[in-house]
Amino acid sequence: MEPLEPADPLTLGPYRLVARLGAGGMGRVYLARSGGGRTVAIKVVRAELAGDTAFRRRFAREAATARRVGGRCTAPVVDADPDAATPWLATEYVLGPPLDEAVARFGPLPEQSLRALGVGLAEALTDIHAAGLVHRDLKPSNVLMAVDGPKVIDFGIARALDEERLTSTGLVIGSPGFMSPEQASGAEVTPASDVFALGSVLVFAATGVLPFGDGPSAVQLYNVVHEPPELTGVPESLLPVIRACLTKDPAKRPQPASLAGEGGLAALLGESGGWLPGPLASSIASHAASIMDMDAPDAPDHFPQPVAATVREGGAGGAGGAAGAGSAGGAGTSGPGASGAGTTQVGGGPSGPGRPSRRKLLAAAIGGGAVVAGGAAWGITALVGGSGSPSTGPTRAPGQAPDADWRTTVPPASSAGRPVVSGGTVLLPVDPTAAPSSGAAVVAVDAASHRTLWKKPGSAISGQPVVGGGKTVLLRDGAQLRGYDARGGQQRLDDRPGAPWQVLAADATAAYLVVRAAGGAWSLTAVDLSTRRPRWTKPLPAGGAPGTGAAAALDGGSLVYASGTGYLTCRATADGGEAWHASGKLTSPAPMPVIADGTVYVRDGSNDPDSGTARLLRFPLRGPGTPTPLATAGDGDGGVSAPAATGGAVFVVAGRSLVAYDTASHQQKWSVDLVYGIDGQATVLAGSGTVYVAETGSLGIQAFDASSSKQLWTFRSGDASTASQNWTATLSGGRLYAVLGTALYRIPAK
């Protein structure tokens, strides 16, 4: 949650705006109050969409259909004005964080909470389907964790079942990690598709990882259609119900009403009235107090200074929260640890008959800390007894970094790579020369418990691990291409594509390599992961050799290869056909391309902070291979980092600044000076509305709001011995997996 800015409206319809909650795909989301004290979340349509007549008609229709949905476990639409100069939609404001952020901060839910979540989601889907709708995008960020039960939000892409145009085959709407097989295939979407998504959401809530992997969208969609889910870590008593939800045949999935059981969530909660783990309920109670006292500010006056975090060795992190963007349906993160699309009738001032008192609201929030201890059966699984005393956790001050969930000791990481996360496994390339006693060249660590799952020895293993098909870890071992199961470490592939060579990237079905034949000529090769045979091989020109290193990026059916010798080419993954190439327009080292919104972004030139000139270039993905410079850092200015992209923007450290560019207009959105003068050696990561800059141990990992450039926090290890060493990090599933020296950290990303 952030203060209003001067450009923000003060009122919308009968509502007075109080604060910014975040932004979604359709526009910005505000916290607002009516004259009677009702607190709502208002979604305001972006200006460019407001001028689209067809969009206005669609927006009006969606608002009308969404208002038909009622029930205990949905956050209803309470008002809308599709004809306003800037169309808006108001939903109840729910005091509770989205499920994804709750899991990121507090870890997977206990079994009793999972049961309540399952019943609540089933009850919500029953109400949604009864209104003639299919949600189509049920996912953790669209589930708010309120004290009286989960609330499903964002009917912005739900569609009426009787609209033939929107239920016809070929239309794919939703989020890849939570789509049903028929949705991923572009087939007709029915209420059974929401049941599949329910099963996926429950797996995530139980384990903290996606059931079909968290790689590129194409990999996730392939796994959803063809592969079984990864259910390791799901409580055994819940497996039958979740497996039934995740069956590939929609006709065999259970009905939501049968999952909700007789009496629904009310019967499950029984007399306890609580279902949330203690630390989560405590954070909501704290946030409730701040909401009660909140009023609309005249103007923003200051921003808090960042506060360094502390680290708990091998233990769980605190219950702190941070501000972040909500979904397009009206959810917003509001620290500490609460967000959403509305609790009704919350306001400052005296309590009246229609508005609960502060005492009652806080009592309700704190009461939610009790774990569910009784109630009805869920589906075919009996509710197992047991309760626990709610525990409290510290809340974070504004600007304070999150505590690490855990810290564990690992062998020194290879300078050639950074952590790779897939299916709940963290893969670390190890420097065998720096840690000969470790007996490993790659180590696999469980993302939840930080225990070592497996490791592979050998000084011949080199380069960055690459995950193909969401489950197979591909490694270069001397002249061999080896593949290992990401979770168990069993060998899946053993091939000899040529020597020397490098694994560049992989998708759901193939691995892409750069290979040198016996005669010395280099080529790009695609190896089928099922048949283990080359799918295609395309020769590279003399200037296309990897040189000091090569990198690649995948987007749909395109592979972009960048060599360390200044060669860039875009190829079709199906047959290797070349769409375009740019030769002699780049320099070493390996430029590490990023693809976002139909554009290739690539670093060009040295990233040495004291010599040479470096640039960030962009190329249209579909060609031609003509570059346009965006950012430049001259001699001594600090170099240019590899780029990162999220939410319609690309980010890069150029010289002494972190710069954001809009991926549609390619215009600069903002630039912020970096306090410590981070140079081109920095790692830039982006996701979920936040940008992260990681450099040395002393400088730490800095987090910035991707929309406003506001610095949110700085995480430091506190280990003076690693002050001059560089962080390497990866962002996955709402967490940062970061390595500094011989320590691996899991850090909440918010």
d(Cα 466, Cα 515) in Å, to the nearest integer? 16
CA separation for the pair 24, 230 (Å, rounded): 29
Tell how far CA 462 is from the center of its chain. 29
**Under 8 Å between Cβ of 581 and 567:** yes
Among left, alpha and beta (phi > 0; psi -120 to 50; other), residue 239 is: alpha
Which has the closest alpha carbon to 263: 371, 97, 383, 385? 383
248 is in an annotated binding site: no
| CA–CA distance, 557 with 554 (Å, rounded to integer) | 7
Burial degree of 165 (CB within 10 A; 0-12, 13-18, 19+): exposed
| Nearest partner of 49 among 30, 28, 27, 22, judged by Cα | 27
The pairing of strands 668-673 and 683-687 is unpaired
Q: Give the angle subtended at the CA of 130 by the CAs of 32 and 242, to the nearest 5°.
A: 90
What the block records as the tokens of 405 is 């969930």
Count the neighbouring beta carbons within 10 Å of the beta carbon of residue 147: 25
Please provide residue 252's backbone torsions phi and psi, each rounded to the nearest 5 degrees. -95, 0
Catalytic residue among 79, 100, 127, 137: 137
Please report which helix (H) or strand (E) contains residue 484, including its range.
strand 480-485
Q: What is the DSSP string of 577-616?
A: -EEEEEESS--SS----EEETTEEEEEES---TTSS-EEE
Structure tokens at 622: 């579909």
Residue 424: what are its φ and ψ, rounded to 5°?
80, 10
* 137 is known as an active-site residue: yes
Nearest to 96 by CA among 346, 333, 356: 333
Q: Which residues are annotated as a binding site for ATP?
A: 43
Binding site, by residue number, is 43
Residues catalogued as catalytic: 137
